[in-house]
Amino acid sequence: MKEKKELLIITGISGAGKTTALNFFEDRGYLAIDNLPVFFLSKILEAFSDVKGKMKNIVAVIDSRSWSNSSEFFSELEKLKKLELSYKIIFLDAKTEYIVNRYNLTRRKHPIKYHSTLEEKVKEEKREMEDIKNISNYIIDTGNMNEKDFKKELEKYLNDDNKQLTVTFSSFGFKYGLPIDMDLLFDVRFLPNPYYIKELKELSGNDKEVYDYVFSFGETKEFYLKLKDMIDYLLPKYIKEGKSHLSIAIACSGGKHRSVSLVNKFYEQYKNSDLVEVVKCHRDVKRR
């Protein structure tokens, strides 16, 4: 766990998993506050000391229930900056259909009051939260995640070893939809497809046979080198700009062969980097 004491703000779309995230950090020693009224945020310094005067990590859920207008949230962040109090923001999101399904299962009321349908409420909240999402340090798309996968994603935050930038290389298949939390997207459907090779169809880019097949072609090697050159150029720029997390998505048709092979290659290239922390994720590799 991080040793540096901090204020962690969890926000995002209602139904995206904020309560699960809050419980996760509380179980790991954070002082947890749910539904914190936004005007208390700049006063949170008082809660940073326990009875022995020692500093504690604090995690607070602040979302559309906590303000009358999102501008109040930005105003409080400015006060935190003036107090020289460091903070990080984790934004939880999911596609509208996932959120609607979750509300239908739990039968809870959505906090947005002024729309007739649940889908309209979700879309309105997404519009209201867009500016906050854009300034968040970490964005997590929980739509395709079960609770176990979600907690693994939160573990990545805790295991960050204070390198300035965390880079996530992720693979997915276009046939299953676009992920929400990507900064850069590269389409590798132009590469030869192992799916049409009988011996390789049921394997994945995690298998040596598929990996070797994908990288046996000159266009794969050329693409890899060109993309690596661009990433090498971009990483110092993002660090200088102050970005904390960079999500690089590589996609093919099914997210099982070509994209997985490329992600594994990039992960191996950067996993021992002194500059960035690197993680990988294969969203669709187990789909049929």
Whole-prediction pTM: 0.63
pLDDT at position 20 is: 93
pLDDT digits (tens, 9 = 90+) for 180-209: 888 999 999 999 999 999 999 999 999 999
Residues in the chain predicted with pLDDT less than 50, given as ranges, are 1-4, 49-52, 161
Q: Which amino acid is at 67?
A: W
**Residue 269 burial (C-beta neighbours within 10 Å; 0-12, 13-18, 19+):** middle
Is beta strand 245-252 parallel, antiparallel or unpaired with respect to 165-173?
A: parallel
- The CA R_g of the chain, rounded to the nearest whole Å, is 21
pLDDT at position 54 is: 54
Domains of the chain and CATH, by start: 7-158 (3.40.50.300), 165-282 (no CATH)
pLDDT at position 104 is: 79
pLDDT at position 117 is: 84
Tokens of 75: 């105003």
3-state secondary structure of 260: helix
pLDDT at position 179 is: 87
Q: By C-alpha distance, which of 201, 189, 99 is closest to 141?
A: 99
CB 92 within 8 A of CB 16: yes
